[in-house]
Structure 1
Amino acid sequence: MTETMDKAETESWAFTDGSGGRPVTPHAAVDLLRRRIASGVLESWLAASDGRLLAVVSNTERAMVRLLDGEGDPGGHATDPGAGTESDGFVLANGQSDTYPDEDTVPLGEALRIVRHVIATGGPPTDATWTIDR
């Protein structure tokens, strides 16, 4: 059994705000992310019971998805190699609006697929392009 599968069996994930800290299933997490993004809440954080963090920042079309081992860890993020431009409108909880190269973000549907997989298995899908930032 791999370390990722071991983590998935023992860890739970919860939103750090707005869900009362209750663990969420992969499907419920994606549903809540869709509702949050549709209502204009474009930055969301989930925390795993082992201290890992999963961040999703969207502009409603694309999203930055980051997986960190804990506070202060640079972690890694989903990428879209070859995406040639940049997109703006990634609004953080503090009101700051960021612009990211499209290579450092993924289309929203892909971001939600990655989030679902991380919560279900403990890591990103093997077919997702991922950059380690450490």
Structure 2
Amino acid sequence: MGDSWVLVDGAVAVDAGTVTEMLRARIAAGALESVLESAAGRTLFVVSNTERAMVMLLDHPGDPGEHATDPGAQEWSDGYVLANGQEDEYPDADTVPLHEGLRIVRGILTTGCPPSDASWTVDR
């Protein structure tokens, strides 16, 4: 079973049933970076450019973590704006289409792990 999670920006409780709607609303409002923390100390980063998402899960501060991937993608995308205003560019192979990223986030909040059929890379 999944852990309890809060949106760091505002300390708002988030669950699997509301996370997709909440993240879509934040992205539509221009908040392209969202950071969720679990009661167990895990951190889930979601950064979007409105079309794709970088989804990264860390077990603790300093952890290299793990992230969602799109193994066949060969292009790069920009427009990933962080909360501090920095705009990043990532290889599409290290990001996923937004709908897939939201599905993965929902799975992590539900079970503590990405869905078994999601492409996922452990960076540890």
Q: What is the TM-score when the length of structure 2 is the normalising length?
A: 0.96
After superposition, what is the alpha-carbon deviation per residue over 1:22-47, rounded to whole angstroms, capped at 9, x for unaligned?
42221211111000000100000000
| Alignment-derived partner of residue 113 in structure 2 | 123
- Give ranges in structure 2 of 5+ residues lacking alignment: none
1:32 aligns with 2:22: yes
CA shift for structure 1 position 88: 0.3
Which aligned pairs between 1:14-93 and structure 2 lie closer than 5 A? 14-18=6-10, 21-93=11-83
Instruction: Give aligned pairs, total.
Output: 124
1 CA distance for matches of 2:121 and 2:74?
A: 17
Greater share of residues in strand = 2
What amino acid sits opposite 1:107 in the alignment?
Answer: P
After superposition, what is the alpha-carbon deviation per residue over 1:52-91, rounded to whole angstroms, capped at 9, x for unaligned?
0100000000000001101111110000001110000000
2 CA distance for matches of 1:119 and 1:44?
A: 14
After superposition, what is the alpha-carbon deviation per residue over 1:72-121, rounded to whole angstroms, capped at 9, x for unaligned?
11110000001110000000011010000000000000000000000011
Which aligned pairs between 1:98-113 and structure 2 lie closer than 5 A? 98-113=88-103
- Which residue, out of 4, 29, 43, partners 1:12? 4
Secondary structure at the counterpart of residue 114 of structure 1: helix
- Give ranges in structure 1 of 5+ residues lacking alignment: none
2 CA distance for matches of 1:54 and 1:63?
A: 12
Secondary structure at the counterpart of residue 14 of structure 2: coil
- Report the aligned-residue RMSD: 0.9
Runs of 4+ with >6 A deviation:
none
What amino acid sits opposite 1:128 in the alignment?
Answer: A
